[in-house]
Amino acid sequence: MELAEHNITCNAYAPGIVGTNMWDLIDEELGKKDGRQKGDTIKKYVNELIALGRVSVPEDVAKLVSFLASQDSNYITGQCMIVDGGIIFT
């Protein structure tokens, strides 16, 4: 709100599971903890938690970041946009 008078917007993005090397490592370590093979944990999350049925790719997040950095989002401020394919927490 302090920056709005200067036409400066401030937004955030919150990615879900993005298919990157970091998630490969998370999958592997969670698998060790739960006794699963590499790749099984992320498949479980996709099948049980993600409404769109797939892990996101970096481009999914990049598209939102590009939008937020463009003039198309000049009337959006103080928001956190979730990019997670509809993760369902129960």
pLDDT in tens, 39-83: 999 999 999 999 999 999 999 999 999 999 999 999 999 999 999
> Which residues are within 8 A (CB) of 18 and not within 5 positions of it... i.e. 6 or more apart?
55, 56, 57, 58, 60, 61
CB 17 within 8 A of CB 89: no
Q: How far apart are CA 75 and CA 70, in angstroms?
A: 11
pLDDT band per the 50, 70, 90 thresholds, residue 27: very high
pLDDT band per the 50, 70, 90 thresholds, residue 24: very high
For residue 90, is pLDDT > 80?
no
Would you list the DSSP string of 44-56? HHHHHHBTTSS-B
CA 8 to chain centre: 24
pLDDT band per the 50, 70, 90 thresholds, residue 38: very high
